[in-house]
Amino acid sequence: MVATPESVGAVTAPTSRMSADARRAQLIDIGWDLLQERPIHELALDEVAARAGISRTLLFHYFPTKADFYVAVVTAASDHLLRPPRVPDDAAPLERIRRLVEGFVRLVERNRASYTTLVRAAGGGDQRVVDLIASTRDALVPRWLDAAGDPDVGPLAHLVVRGWLVGMEETVLTWDPQQVPREALVDHLVASFLAELALATDPERLVEVADTRR
Amino acid sequence: MVATPESVGAVTAPTSRMSADARRAQLIDIGWDLLQERPIHELALDEVAARAGISRTLLFHYFPTKADFYVAVVTAASDHLLRPPRVPDDAAPLERIRRLVEGFVRLVERNRASYTTLVRAAGGGDQRVVDLIASTRDALVPRWLDAAGDPDVGPLAHLVVRGWLVGMEETVLTWDPQQVPREALVDHLVASFLAELALATDPERLVEVADTRR
DNA sequence: TAGCGTTATTGACAGATGCTCAACAACGCA
DNA sequence: TGCGTTGTTGAGCATCTGTCAATAACGCTA
């Protein structure tokens, strides 16, 4: 279980003997909280242990190395934040894409700090974390293609849709609602995705995309 | 001076007394080489000093903390790799954008490992590095807008062009020339940028973009 | 309830690393 | 030749990761 914003700073009760699973979960929870405040190399395991009210040795009992601990924390956060979105089958492609965009914007609105921490972890940390984020992104591509009604596209479309997703991530993360209205952002992202996909598969369809914008 | 792929592993001569500037450059050079192999938190300053043939103390003389050293290394690499591209004024917008895309693809082709190291540094390291990469990207946006002949656009266009640039970065970095021909990639990116910009400013122009693809 | 195996838990220790301090030595200049 | 500037270093301190052997709490069975 990963810390949600509500549980941040929750003081854990003075610890007696805990079950292995509960202890692991507690430590990961604390690790995630602390990782919001500072990057991994500035985080001492002493502090994690202290917050849990246990000795540092016990931490090493559950996670052989600091890197292992780090990977466990980021993996848990990834499971929590990047849960694959559900798209209703009955809606039209345009509507399904809009739902996906809406879902992501909402996710960032609710967990901006956590999400930033997570994607930044993709860079600095362990190779396993880099791979984790990369494979999570890879897994996202077919979902968006399915939603668009274009499941079977060539390698170029796969490649650029993946890039588009990363670009959208950056766009939404740097988005300032004061400068750009929420609806304008969502509208643009939907049209942008359709245009990108059309360009990579069937350029004639671009005209249709233009139509949806008038 | 940042290490180019050619200078990697160059053994520096046994050191006598060096000028401050030369020593700094040498240390940054070595730091960059080592940063290609492993992330910053796995890099011991002992090793940097050993490669330079000096004591660890001297390293601290030039860079007060390890973080300072890291920032200096990444900054130097950024200056070298992200040098602002030159665009000829005489060409048409379409051609100028193509030049920019070509330039970036070529940059990645020549320095894939270095570039990956650099953008990954944006995540793991110091806050100053995060800011550096962010401001470098910000500075890139007006250049692309100028090239497209649309210097004065609204905040939405700024935002999405910035996102598009990050997406393109990801696309080119994960691009596998075996699966997608170089020309197809470049063609797509050019059209994609124009479509993105058109969507954010003047949707009617999308039709023109479609024309350039037939 | 007593005994016993399992395992959660810990204190003490070792090795590595970031960083400080005071002193030395090479160089330029009057 | 002498002197100030500065490039350079070894020794030492504090912190942090990781190890090891021992302890104590718990569940299970007789």
Q: What percent of chain B has pLDDT over 90?
A: 72
Q: Give the list of residues 6+ apart from residue B65 with CB closer than 8 angstroms, or none.
A: none
Count CB neighbours of A61 within 10 A: 12
Q: Is B207 on the interface with A (CB under 8 A)?
A: yes
Cβ-Cβ pairs closer than 8 A, A with B, add up to 154
From the CA of B62, how many Å to the C1' of C30?
29
Which residue in A122, A184, A209 is closest to B206 by CB distance? A209
What pLDDT is recorded for position A214?
A: 54
Which among A193, A74, A88 is positioned nearest to A135, based on CA atoms?
A: A74
What pLDDT is recorded for position B5?
A: 35
With CB atoms and an 8 Å threshold, state whether B196 touches A200: no
What pLDDT is recorded for position A109?
A: 97
Taking 70 as the threshold, does the pLDDT of residue B99 lie above it? yes
What pLDDT is recorded for position B13?
A: 42
Q: Give the list of residues 6+ apart from residue B147 with CB closer than 8 angstroms, or none.
A: B87, B93, B96, B97, B99, B100
| Reported confidence tier of residue B97, pLDDT bands at 50, 70, 90 | very high
Alpha-carbon distance A33 to A27, whole Å? 10
What pLDDT is recorded for position B15?
A: 58
Chain A residue with minimal CA distance to B134?
A174
What pLDDT is recorded for position A198?
A: 95
What pLDDT is recorded for position B124?
A: 66
| Reported confidence tier of residue A11, pLDDT bands at 50, 70, 90 | very low
Which among B111, B68, B48, B93 is positioned nearest to B198, based on CA atoms?
A: B93
What pLDDT is recorded for position B120?
A: 84
Taking 90 as the threshold, does the pLDDT of residue A69 lie above it? yes
- Tens digits of residue pLDDT in B47-82: 999 999 999 999 999 999 999 999 999 999 999 888
Tell me which chain B residues have a C-beta less than 8 angstroms from the C-beta of A69.
none
Instruction: List the nucleotides on chain D closer than 7 A to a protein CB.
Output: 6-11, 15-21, 25-26
What pLDDT is recorded for position A213?
A: 64
- Tens digits of residue pLDDT in B31-54: 999 999 888 889 999 999 999 999
Structure tokens at A40: 């991994």
Report the interhelical angle of A20-37 vs A45-52 (nearest 10°): 130
Tell me which chain A residues have a C-beta less than 8 angstroms from the C-beta of B164.
167
Taking 60 as the threshold, does the pLDDT of residue B191 lie above it? yes
Most confident of A158-172, B111-125, B128-142, B200-214: A158-172
Count CB neighbours of B9 within 10 A: 9
Rg for chain A, CA atoms, rounded: 20
DSSP per residue, chain B: -PPPGGGTTPPPPPP----HHHHHHHHHHHHHHHHHHS-GGG--HHHHHHHHTS-HHHHHHHSSSHHHHHHHHHHHHHHHHSPPPP--SSS-HHHHHHHHHHHHHHHHHHSHHHHHHHHHHHHHS-HHHHHHHHHHHHHHHHHHHHHTT--S--HHHHHHHHHHHHHHHHHHHH--TTTS-HHHHHHHHHHHHHHHHHHHH-GGGHHHHHHTT-
- Contact, B171 vs A158, CB < 8 A? no
Of how many residues is chain A composed?
A: 214
Q: What percent of chain A has pLDDT over 90?
A: 72
What pLDDT is recorded for position B147?
A: 95
Alpha-carbon distance B2 to B25, whole Å? 8
**Nucleotide of closest approach to A18 (CA, C1'):** C8
- Contact, A27 vs A43, CB < 8 A? no
Residue B16 beta carbon within 7 A of nucleic strand D: yes
Alpha-carbon distance B104 to B99, whole Å? 9
What pLDDT is recorded for position A3?
A: 36
Structure tokens at A8: 């941040």
Average model confidence (pLDDT) across chain A? 89
What pLDDT is recorded for position B214?
A: 54
Tell me which chain A residues have a C-beta less than 8 angstroms from the C-beta of B214.
203-204
What pLDDT is recorded for position A124?
A: 67
| Reported confidence tier of residue A9, pLDDT bands at 50, 70, 90 | very low
Average model confidence (pLDDT) across chain B? 89
Tell me which chain A residues have a C-beta less than 8 angstroms from the C-beta of B163.
167-172, 174
Longest dimension (CA), chain A: 67
Taking 50 as the threshold, does the pLDDT of residue A152 lie above it? yes
Taking 60 as the threshold, does the pLDDT of residue A8 lie above it? no
Residue B3 has phi, psi (to 5 degrees) of: -65, 125
Alpha-carbon distance B188 to B197, whole Å? 14
With CB atoms and an 8 Å threshold, state whether A159 touches B168: no
